[in-house]
């Protein structure tokens, strides 16, 4: 009953869904309008191009929306078709199940009919067995009567023989009485009689034995007869019960046949009714399918023009996409080329880096070569030189080398003299990627060809006719400055350490000749004696004190470049070391046989920013004329 109600409900839902979908598609069809093409000869302006582009974008969006609606409608129609197919499959499955149930009922009825037939055959066999048993009982009764007759005959014969024996015995007795009186001639007759008597006695014994055997056989047959009589009675009882059972089975079989016949008729009627309903449903679904197919064809025809226009736009978009992809591929090729160049550069950079081992294995001097081209100046060219004093403590920030490089990147200087902690120096050399010579206390970075190197310097080819000696003097020392800052006896400390520091400075100067043009980048960690006098504006400098290292270099015919190119220490201090309680020049450029033209203070990246101890360092930029 529930299935009969479910089928009309499904059909009503499908009709409602198809009706809603048809209305939606028709409404969408009426709302879509083909854009009016641009008339030939229409003026093309920037505004018209923008409008056309906006219109094309709008049409593309409408086409995409239309395609999406079409796909959605097709998907919904496909889903409905699949639901309809599923409903048909379900109805067919239900039909198959009904046919299967009907066949099972028919098979069950056939099985019951077969059982009834078997029972009838069994009843017939039982009747045959009963008839055979009755025939056997009759035969047994006949045999019993024959045995009784034979027994009576045997008894009669035995009685006759007994009478004969008795008569013979009487005769014998009579003869025995007469023997005593007869003569000897009668002895043979007596003997014959005795033999006859013995024979008769044996026959009598045999007869007695046969009588006993007959009596025994008669007793056994009588017992068998009694048993057969009992079994015959039992069989008669069973036969009566079997007849009653057969009567009941026939009644039950008749009732069952009537019930099964009625049930089969009912199932056939139900099956025919369900089959008719399924057939009607299938016809209705086929009609709906035809309607849907017609609607789909109508929609397809109405969308063909839109699809053609959309295809044109898609082709144009595809062409533009191909152009974009081509440009993207070109860009990717350029990027890959740039990456290859970058990898090559990094490989070359790594090879350059490998020229400088770790500090524990570093030996000095060590030349560092790159792909920088060497240059030669003319005899009248001026020489630009930078002096960069770096921190004596290892940098804690990895960006310091980059900051220092950036701060001097706009200065064209073929010679850069650098002092400081050796690892800081190495980091700057690797960052700048220029030809250099690592020496004791720092590095000489130069674009001139290097002729020879030594522990503290190198000789370079300045021009075709001139050479130049470049040296580094890095003498870190904090005892004097610390004693001075704390108000201790700094002069005594100065006198104690000056001798050893002067020896190091002499060894540096001895690597060159007196006649060779020489420039020294020096971090002496003590002031210049020229900056200290009674007229100094700095109160702690207002004493006449001869600082020994600056005095030694001047006595060795070296110019203090900064002081030689500025009016006085009072107006141009030139401090390279700036702390909270002290500002001094402790870093210098010195020249011999080279004429200083001008010099200035130089900010060197993060080094010129006060560190945790409040100390900032500055460099020197100078211009020379090599005679």
pLDDT in tens, 181-218: 455 555 665 677 677 767 777 777 777 777 777 777 77
536 and 567 in a single domain? The answer is yes
Average pLDDT on 99-111 reads: 76
The angle formed by the CA atoms of residues 100, 105 and 110, to the nearest 5 degrees, is 120
93 and 185 in a single domain? The answer is no
User: Where residue 186 sits, what CATH number does that domain have?
Assistant: 1.10.287
At residue 176 the predicted structure's pLDDT band, cuts being 50, 70 and 90, is: low
Q: Are 172 and 193 in contact (CB under 8 A)?
A: yes
Q: Is the confidence at residue 126, as pLDDT, over 70? A: no
283 and 378 in a single domain? The answer is no
Q: Is the confidence at residue 48, as pLDDT, over 80? A: no
Contacts of 570 (CB under 8 A, 6+ apart): 535, 536, 537
User: Where residue 615 sits, what CATH number does that domain have?
Assistant: 3.60.10.10
Q: Is the confidence at residue 180, as pLDDT, over 70? A: no
Question: Which range, of 279-293, 342-356, 458-472, averages the lowest pLDDT?
Answer: 279-293
Distance from C-alpha of 369 to C-alpha of 332, rounded to nearest angstrom: 33
Q: Mean pLDDT for the chain? A: 83
Total tally of structural domains belonging to the chain: 3
415 and 441 in a single domain? The answer is yes
Q: Are 91 and 10 in contact (CB under 8 A)?
A: no
477 and 541 in a single domain? The answer is yes
Output 38 or 580, whichever has higher pLDDT.
580
pLDDT at 3 (0 to 100):
56
368 and 447 in a single domain? The answer is yes
Helix-, strand-, coil-residue percentages of the chain, each rounded to 5: 65, 10, 25
Evaluate whether residue 577 is within a structural domain. yes
383 and 473 in a single domain? The answer is yes
Distance from C-alpha of 293 to C-alpha of 81, rounded to nearest angstrom: 10
Q: Is the confidence at residue 617, as pLDDT, over 70? A: yes
Which of 311, 326, 341 terminates a domain? The answer is: 326
Q: Are 151 and 218 in contact (CB under 8 A)?
A: yes
Evaluate whether residue 208 is within a structural domain. yes
Which of 216, 237, 258 terminates a domain? The answer is: 237
568 and 601 in a single domain? The answer is yes
Evaluate whether residue 253 is within a structural domain. no
- Residues spanned by the domain of 602: 363-625
16 and 110 in a single domain? The answer is yes
Average pLDDT on 344-373 reads: 90
Quickly list DSSP for 325-364: HHHHHHHHHHHHHHHHHHHHHHHHHHHHHTTS--GGG--S
516 and 406 in a single domain? The answer is yes
Global pTM exceeds 0.85:
no
Evaluate whether residue 266 is within a structural domain. no
Quote the tokens at residue 57: 């974008």
At residue 233 the predicted structure's pLDDT band, cuts being 50, 70 and 90, is: confident
Q: Is the confidence at residue 275, as pLDDT, over 50? A: yes
Q: What is the DSSP letter of 20?
A: H
Q: Are 436 and 521 in contact (CB under 8 A)?
A: no
Output 148 or 477, whichever has higher pLDDT.
477
Residue pLDDT, tens place only, 300-309: 777 778 788 8
Quickly list DSSP for 427-440: HHHHHHT--EEEET
Evaluate whether residue 255 is within a structural domain. no
173 and 111 in a single domain? The answer is no
Evaluate whether residue 517 is within a structural domain. yes
Average pLDDT on 83-93 reads: 77
Of residues 365, 388, 427, the one with CA closest to residue 521: 388
140 and 23 in a single domain? The answer is no
Evaluate whether residue 352 is within a structural domain. no
**Distance in Å from the first CA to the final CA of the chain:** 123
Distance from C-alpha of 439 to C-alpha of 310, rounded to nearest angstrom: 75
Evaluate whether residue 262 is within a structural domain. no
Phi, psi of 162 (to 5 degrees): -60, -40
Average pLDDT on 509-526 reads: 96
Which of 237, 260, 292 terminates a domain? The answer is: 237
């Amino acid at each position: 009953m529930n299935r009969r109600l479910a089928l009309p409900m499904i059909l009503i839902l499908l009709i409602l869904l198809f009706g809603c979908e048809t209305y939606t598609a028709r409404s969408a069809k009426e709302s879509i309008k083909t854009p009016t093409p641009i008339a030939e000869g229409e003026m093309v302006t920037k505004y018209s191009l923008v409008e056309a582009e906006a219109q094309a974008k709008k049409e593309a969006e409408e086409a995409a929306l239309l395609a999406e609606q079409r796909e959605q409608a097709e998907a919904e129609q496909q889903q409905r078709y699949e639901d309809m197919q599923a409903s048909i499959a379900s109805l067919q499955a239900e039909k198959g199940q009904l046919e299967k149930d009907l066949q099972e009922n028919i098979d069950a009825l056939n099985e019951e009919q077969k059982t009834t037939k078997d029972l009838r055959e069994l009843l017939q066999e039982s009747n045959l067995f009963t008839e055979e048993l009755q025939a056997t009982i009759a035969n047994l009764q006949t045999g019993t009567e024959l045995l009784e007759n034979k027994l009576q005959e045997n008894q009669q014969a035995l009685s006759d023989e007994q009478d004969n024996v008795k008569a013979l015995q009487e005769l014998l007795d009579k003869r025995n009485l007469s023997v005593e009186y007869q003569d000897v001639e009668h002895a043979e007759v007596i003997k014959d009689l005795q033999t006859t008597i013995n024979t008769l006695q044996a026959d009598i014994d045999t007869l007695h034995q046969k009588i006993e055997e007959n009596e025994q056989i008669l007793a056994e047959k009588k017992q068998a007869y009694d048993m057969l009589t009992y079994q015959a009675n039992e069989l008669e009882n069973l036969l009566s019960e079997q007849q009653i059972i057969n009567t009941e089975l026939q009644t039950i079989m008749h009732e069952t046949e009537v019930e099964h016949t009625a049930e089969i008729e009912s199932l056939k009627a139900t099956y025919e009714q369900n089959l008719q309903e399924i057939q009607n449903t299938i016809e209705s679904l086929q009609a709906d399918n035809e309607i849907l197919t017609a609607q789909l064809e109508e929609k397809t025809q109405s969308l063909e023009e839109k699809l053609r226009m959309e295809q044109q736009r898609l082709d144009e978009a595809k062409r533009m996409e191909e152009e974009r992809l081509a440009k993207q591929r070109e860009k990717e090729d350029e990027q890959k080329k740039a990456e290859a160049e970058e990898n090559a550069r990094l490989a070359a950079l790594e090879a350059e880096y490998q020229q400088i081992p770790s500090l524990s294995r570093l030996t000095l001097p060590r030349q560092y070569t790159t792909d920088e081209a060497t240059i030669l100046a003319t005899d009248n060219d001026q020489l630009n030189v930078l002096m960069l004093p770096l921190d004596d403590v290892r940098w804690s920030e990895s960006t310091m080398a980059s900051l220092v490089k950036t701060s001097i990147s706009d200065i064209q200087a073929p010679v850069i003299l650098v002092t400081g902690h050796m690892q800081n120096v190495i980091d700057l050399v690797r960052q700048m990627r220029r030809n250099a010579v690592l020496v004791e206390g720092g590095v000489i970075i130069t674009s001139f060809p290097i002729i020879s190197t030594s522990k503290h310097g190198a000789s370079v080819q300045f021009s075709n006719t001139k050479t130049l000696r470049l040296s580094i003097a890095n003498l870190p020392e904090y005892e004097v400055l610390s004693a001075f800052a704390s108000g201790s006896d700094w002069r005594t400390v100065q006198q104690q350490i000056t001798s050893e520091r002067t020896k190091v400075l002499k060894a540096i100067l001895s690597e060159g000749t007196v006649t060779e043009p020489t420039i020294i980048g020096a971090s002496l960690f003590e002031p210049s004696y020229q900056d200290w006098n009674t007229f100094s504006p700095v109160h702690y400098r207002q004493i006449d004190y001869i600082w020994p290292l600056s005095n030694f270099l001047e006595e060795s015919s070296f110019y203090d470049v900064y002081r030689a190119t500025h009016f006085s220490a009072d107006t141009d201090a030139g401090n390279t070391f700036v702390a909270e309680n002290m500002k001094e020049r402790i870093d210098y450029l010195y020249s011999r046989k080279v004429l200083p033209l001008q010099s200035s203070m130089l900010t060197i990246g993060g080094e010129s920013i006060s560190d945790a101890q409040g100390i900032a360092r500055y460099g020197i930029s100078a211009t020379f004329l090599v005679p």
